[in-house]
Amino acid sequence: MEFIGRVNSRKVFYVQVRNNPEWKPALPKRDWVAFTIANKEDEELVRSSVKVCMDKNVSYTCSTGALAGITEDYFDEEIAWRGVDYEMRTKQKYDYEKSPMTTAHKNFGEGFWFASTLANDDNFEIDKVVCLDFTKSKVKKHLIDLVEKINNGWLPSNGDSEVALYDYK
């Protein structure tokens, strides 16, 4: 996990998942935002990574890329399964208010801005954003540029869709 900057009190980290077998133990143990970037060819990586993020007590997920909606669905499905499992084990009702919040963003810049400035959990102080890059083309440079822009007062466009700028074509 690589530190790439800070937005207000939040530290922003970058993890390239595809070719990095050591990414899982590097994740924070709790109270963090997962900003995921995934495209269609990354679906199997996303599917297997959701449980890892949940096991590491992610507080909020913000998904972008062509697979944003499906990534959010995977997180929501895992949250539901964990709720059912809890209810079956304890015979008590699961409190979904304490589950991670999930969002999906078609506008990459807006999604990152939201993850780094507004994503909040009333139960925890979120102080880390971990950018989980599942893509082959990588978006690290774009994220570093966005950190700088946000720190200089930049606000995302109101456009419906804005794709990531990839490091490699």
Residue 169 is predicted with a pLDDT of 57
Residue with tokens 């893509």: 135
Task: Enter the CATH code of domain 2-152.
Answer: 3.90.190
In this prediction, residue 62 carries a pLDDT of 97
Cα–Cα distance for residue pair 105/95, rounded to 1 Å: 26
Q: Distance (Å, rounded) from C-alpha 138 to C-alpha 4? A: 14
11 membership: H or E segment, kind and range: strand 10-16
The predicted pLDDT at position 167 comes to 67
Nearest C-alpha neighbor of 80 from the set 112, 54, 42, 47: 54
What integer pLDDT is reported at residue 14 of this predicted model?
A: 97
Contacts 24+ apart (CB under 8 A), 41-46: 41/136, 42/18, 42/67, 42/134, 42/135, 42/136, 43/67, 43/70, 45/17, 45/18, 45/134, 46/70, 46/71, 46/74, 46/134
**What does the pLDDT read at residue 24?**
94
Name the strands in the sheet holding 10-16, side by side, starting at the edge strand that comes first in the sequence. Answer: 2-7, 10-16, 128-133, 32-37, 60-64, 101-104
The helix/strand/coil state of 29 is coil
pLDDT value at residue 90:
94
pLDDT per residue of the chain (169 residues) written in tens, 0 to 9: 999 999 999 999 999 999 898 999 999 999 899 999 999 999 999 999 999 999 999 999 999 999 999 999 999 999 999 999 999 999 999 998 889 999 999 999 999 999 999 888 777 789 999 999 999 989 999 999 999 999 999 988 876 777 676 666 5
pLDDT at 165: 66
CA–CA distance, 102 with 83 (Å, rounded to integer): 15
Q: What pLDDT is stored for residue 16 in this prediction?
A: 94
pTM for the full model? 0.92
